[in-house]
Amino acid sequence: MDNAKISLADFSHKKELTDLWHESFGDNEKFISSFLDAYMIPEYNVPVIISDGKIVCALYLIDFGLYSNTSILGDCAYLFAACTKKEYRNKGFMSELVKYSAGLCGNRGLKAIFLFPQAQNQKLFDFYSKFGFKTIYAAKRINCERKTNVDLSDFRLENKDITEVSVFDELYDCYTEFTAKQEIAPMKDRLFYFKCASSYLESPENAEIKTNFAVFENNVEKICYVFYKKYKNTYYIDDIILPRQNKTKHIRSFGETADMLGDFMLNSGEFGDNITVGMNVLPSSFSDDNNVPMAMILPLYGSVKNITDNLKAPVYINMFMNI
């Protein structure tokens, strides 16, 4: 940290922040600029390290509400887009910035800091654990098997345009209800949720991986909302969100819904023959085989620490939040 100092960025640093973000993550300038315009609060939520007269390390602290079983626990921060210029890495800059951010959030009375390490990188999980972050979210990767004698004639999976207001409003309402029921979860505001969901679906026409948002339904009910993609001859179900209400008396569990969706894709013929379907489901414990860690939390308050210390199984989290 010689000749380096920690500061809180303002809009005069927007160009530097954009260049650093682009170098680290490859996102286009339009997306980065829109994010900064929407979420950057000058001299408040973008800690940076300045060395040799320029910003060389940065991260973003986005305000969230923290919920546990639909009850509000308080405000927390989502640590997002942590990045360091290539020539300044492995100098301890990010460690200093994370410790500074934890102190900053604690002094402001926030209850916790969440983060989603990029691409489920185990080295990143190990890095953040040094500061007290604990893995709290995970998914279990499974491959669905084709079943016989499955009648799915009344079911359909219909792709939707998430930029349509009515479609997004319905999805967001279901997301907030579904997520708040988890043992501990951050609630995204509408704009940030829209940016996450819509960015998942932004892929060029000639992309090898096609991403989709759809509604799985029959003649009676909307069974679930789903984000899925196709790569070669395999469909991957990234996220399933259960509707807020079902018109039927029987309310399906997440696992039952996931099985039904997998059966439909394998047996309906709509997706072609000889396909396979992989999906992420809720593990029953932290020790399940094939668990994929996805998110971490740093408790800054007693009530949150009590939940994380006594959590026996990971909480399901929707995949496309990790962008």
Range with top average pLDDT, 9-18, 68-77, 234-243: 9-18
**Distance of alpha carbon 128 from alpha carbon 124, whole angstroms:** 6
The position carrying tokens 């923290």 is 66
Over 60: is that where the pLDDT of 225 sits?
yes
Domain architecture of the chain: domains with CATH: 4-137+294-321 (3.40.630.30), 141-281 (3.40.630)
**Rounded average pLDDT over 282-295:** 82
Under a CB-based contact definition with an 8 Å cutoff, are residues 217 and 223 in contact?
yes
**In percent, how much of the chain has pLDDT > 90?**
46
Range with top average pLDDT, 51-55, 122-126, 171-175: 51-55
Q: What is the pLDDT of residue 134?
A: 92
**Rounded average pLDDT over 120-127:** 86
- The DSSP letter of residue 247 is S
Q: What is the pLDDT of residue 120?
A: 65
Over 50: is that where the pLDDT of 319 sits?
no
Lowest mean pLDDT among 27-36, 150-159, 255-264, 287-296: 287-296
Q: Which residues, including other chains, have CB under 8 Å from residue 259's CB and lie 6 or more apart? A: 144
Under a CB-based contact definition with an 8 Å cutoff, are residues 74 and 67 in contact?
no
**Rounded average pLDDT over 84-106:** 96
Over 50: is that where the pLDDT of 292 sits?
yes
Range with top average pLDDT, 117-121, 163-167, 195-199: 163-167
Q: What is the pLDDT of residue 243?
A: 82
More confident residue, 150 or 168: 168
**Rounded average pLDDT over 45-52:** 96
Helices 29-39 & 190-200 angle (0-180, nearest 10): 170
User: Based on the number of CB atoms within 10 Å of its own CB, is 243 exposed (0-12), middle (13-18) or buried (19 or more)?
Assistant: buried
Q: What is the pTM of this model?
A: 0.84
Q: What is the pLDDT of residue 320?
A: 41
Over 50: is that where the pLDDT of 163 sits?
yes
- Written as one letter, the residue type at 135 is T
Long-range contacts of 267-273 (CB under 8 A, 24+ apart): 267/146, 267/147, 267/150, 267/152, 268/152, 268/155, 268/157, 270/157, 271/235
pLDDT digits (tens, 9 = 90+) for 67-77: 887 788 899 99
Q: What is the pLDDT of residue 83?
A: 96
Under a CB-based contact definition with an 8 Å cutoff, are residues 91 and 51 in contact?
no
Quick one: CA dihedral 262, 209, 22, 172, positive or negative? Answer: negative
Confidence of residue 23 (pLDDT cuts 50, 70, 90): very high
**In percent, how much of the chain has pLDDT > 70?**
94
Q: What is the pLDDT of residue 321?
A: 43
